[in-house]
Amino acid sequence: MNSDRLVLSAPNATLDDVHPASASLRMLFDASRAIYRCNTRGELFAALIESAQRLIGCDRCAAYAAEEGELRLRVISGSGEANKALYPPRFALDEPLVRALLARGQLIWPSMPANSPIMRAIHQQHGATPLTSFYAYTLRSDGRLQGMLTCAFDQRFDMPPPTA
């Protein structure tokens, strides 16, 4: 018997037990398969928000389509009028928020101040502050804007201020 070799047997072990990252990889592969199977833009947007919720654990997610010079709400996670009321039905491409998104490709507010312009607008329109952390990403294909994916979190992700 070679004393340099140790063989372990774990008959009930799964790949996730042996390699912790495998669960994340499996979720990525599942998301990739779901997105690849889409035949329409609506199916694609639905697969994107479902995958985003599963992968990053956001509380709410929405997909907007780029149509006729604006971003129009097409798919939201969850159901009900209260949930739908949290999302503006459209954004003009020349709005400051959208211009910033288009310039950067993403917007991330890990800890959104209650008095920020977007939070004031949401509060004014809906009467409540529905989120504390917010991510938005552009959706592009062949260099052309196809839409925007938004992910909202009820919890706050406090981060230190950026340093120069």
Statement: the pTM of the whole predicted model exceeds 0.85? no
Is the CATH number 3.30.450.40 carried by domain 57-153? yes
Identify the pLDDT of residue 160: 47
CA nearest neighbour of 106 among 78, 140, 130: 140
Q: Which residues contact 23 (CB under 8 A, 6 or more apart)?
A: 16
Identify the pLDDT of residue 109: 72
Q: Is the distance from CB of 48 to CB of 139 less than 8 angstroms?
A: yes
Identify the pLDDT of residue 145: 92
Of the CA atoms within 13 Å of residue 9, those in its CB half-sphere come to 1
Q: Is the distance from CB of 134 to CB of 126 less than 8 angstroms?
A: no
Rounded mean pLDDT for each run of 10 residues along the chain, 164 residues in total: 52 61 76 85 88 84 92 82 71 87 83 66 58 81 90 63 44
